Structure 1
Amino acid sequence: MFTGFTDETVDFMWGIRFNNERTWFEAHKDIYLTKFYQPMKELGDEIYDFLQEERPDYGLIRKVTRIYRDARRLHGRGPYKDHLWFSVEQPSEQWTAHPTFWFELAPEGWTYGMGYYLPKPLTMAKLRARIDRDPKTMETLTRRLARQKEFQLETEDYKRPRSAAPSKLLEPWYRTKSFSICHEDKLTDEVFSRDIVDRLKEGYRFLLPYYDYFVTLDGDPDPREQ
């Protein structure tokens, strides 16, 4: 059961940021395993159990990222990450192209939410086509998002919209090629106790209708063939 991250967790994250090499990591590996990886896994397991209970038909899985960076993509950086995250998602060979719940802890703070890392252009085309067929559903979801203060819509936009939105309210969804609905925070007291569990459950419960909407996009018809 998750009981909270600790000062040792934070010290390790800052330590690996400024000592990103094997000798330092191996000397502090036990701290990484017991104070960083294991609590992250325990928190991920609790959130997975919650989401699995809420959506038992989705076949969700839980993943905790490795601290080791891909040696092929270091680009001058050290071999280790100074942050960790877990995700809850449907199994897929290309997880970046599908909606995902996540929680991430870094030296400066934490973030959680739901969204895509790198959706396929076809997925975004299907999103626009679905909104064209039924704008009211997405308008309802967008207004619901605007009424609360926990989450923000963050988008990576095309330079020019691919098509015109049915209303001004829906324009952000027509500009975006990737997006997340997320909350970012500093290292608040919650992450050092079980309070973060209830905070995340409440947030993910709010996000579930959005996940329900996006996770079914792949089953929509290809708008290029219509």
Structure 2
Amino acid sequence: MDSTGFTEETFTFFDGLARDNSKEYFHAHHEVYVRAVREPARALARALEEEFGPIKVGRPNRDTRFSHDKSPYKTHVGLVGRGRGPVGRYLQLGLDGLWAGAGYHAMSSAQVRRFREGVDDDREGPRLDRIVDELTGRGFDLVGDTLRTRPRGYAGDHPRVHLLRYRSLGAEHHVERSDELCSPALLETVRADWRALRPLLDWLERHVTS
């Protein structure tokens, strides 16, 4: 199967699963899941691996151990490509469209310290600021865990206090559900987004990864 994108059947399956998120529904429509979700996702992963390295397709089962929502299945499919440590790229395709992003998640205390040292640096801090500005200018949103106020030890008027507040940092781009997601354009959209995120990942790998 080539990477020509998903189909309307993909979203029909997720629509039905959102209404009846049960093992009975999933098993009754397992052939649809394989044909319209799993296999197109695997084909997309193979196409992306040529440029971005190994890509893992997520399982359909939700981890409900620590969640009040005990629905057994995801109403989306996800792909993840790892860099060094928790730095990596991801995409998620589901009822609300496509999310393509990358970043550094779940930083340890030592990693947060190194991140802030990089942000505070007179050369590397402005470089990250420019990377972030370029991404947001292209329609990406910054994501991550943030403090409500400035971190201890830094002035409130620090020129990059908005970045110092992050305890994990990433960026993602949202594409609304549309015909584009059911066409070969999907592959090029993801490639373009992941390429645009490369400077952010490079900066994070240099300054945060131990």
Shorter chain as denominator, the TM-score bin is 0.7 to 0.9
Give 1:2's aligned residue: 3
Q: 1:219 to 1:24 in 2, by over 3 A?
A: closer
Q: Which runs of 5+ in 1 are unaligned?
A: 53-60, 93-97, 221-226
Provide the rounded CA distance (Å) in 1 between the counterparts of 2:155 and 2:12: 47
Contact kept? 1:109, 1:187, Cα under 8 Å: yes
- Deviating 4+ runs (over 4 angstroms): 165-169
Q: 1:150 to 1:36 in 2, by over 3 A?
A: same
- The one of the two structures with greater contact order (alpha-carbon pairs below 8 A, sep at least 6) is 2
Contact kept? 2:103, 2:200, Cα under 8 Å: no
Contact kept? 1:139, 1:169, Cα under 8 Å: no
Among 107, 115, 119, the residue aligned to 1:119: 107
Contact kept? 1:67, 1:81, Cα under 8 Å: yes
Contact kept? 2:87, 2:103, Cα under 8 Å: yes
Give 1:99's aligned residue: 87
**1:20 equivalenced with 2:13 (yes/no):** no
Query: Matches of residues 199-218 of structure 1 in structure 2 within 5 Å?
Result: 199-218=189-208
Amino acid at match of 1:45: R
Measured after TM superposition, the shift of residue 156 of structure 1 is: 2.8
Provide the rounded CA distance (Å) in 1 between the counterparts of 2:147 and 2:57: 31
Provide the rounded CA distance (Å) in 2 between the counterparts of 1:167 and 1:203: 32
Provide the rounded CA distance (Å) in 2 between the counterparts of 1:169 and 1:155: 20
Provide the rounded CA distance (Å) in 2 between the counterparts of 1:39 and 1:201: 16
Please give the per-residue CA displacement for 1:151-185, whole angstroms capped at 9, x wherever unaligned.
12234311332142697552221111223211112
Q: 1:91 to 1:179 in 2, by over 3 A?
A: closer
Provide the rounded CA distance (Å) in 2 between the counterparts of 1:99 and 1:90: 5
Amino acid at match of 1:190: E
TM-score, normalised to structure 2, is 0.87
Please give the per-residue CA displacement for 1:84-140, whole angstroms capped at 9, x wherever unaligned.
110111375xxxxx1221110111211111123422232221111122233332233
Provide the rounded CA distance (Å) in 1 between the counterparts of 2:93 and 2:49: 17
Q: 1:165 to 1:11 in 2, by over 3 A?
A: farther
Q: 1:192 to 1:168 in 2, by over 3 A?
A: farther
Give 1:90's aligned residue: 83
Give 2:118's aligned residue: 130
Greater share of residues in helix: 1
TM-score, normalised to structure 1, is 0.81
Contact kept? 2:128, 2:200, Cα under 8 Å: no
Contact kept? 1:165, 1:174, Cα under 8 Å: no
Measured after TM superposition, the shift of residue 219 of structure 1 is: 4.7
Q: 1:107 to 1:145 in 2, by over 3 A?
A: closer
Q: 1:87 to 1:76 in 2, by over 3 A?
A: closer
Measured after TM superposition, the shift of residue 211 of structure 1 is: 0.7
> May I ask how many residue pairs the two structures share in their alignment?
206
Identical-residue share of aligned pairs (%):
23
Q: 1:91 to 1:30 in 2, by over 3 A?
A: farther
Q: CA RMSD in A?
A: 2.2
Provide the rounded CA distance (Å) in 2 between the counterparts of 1:109 and 1:139: 28
Provide the rounded CA distance (Å) in 1 between the counterparts of 2:52 and 2:79: 13
Measured after TM superposition, the shift of residue 141 of structure 1 is: 2.0
Q: Tell me the secondary structure at the aligned position of residue 139 of structure 2.
A: coil
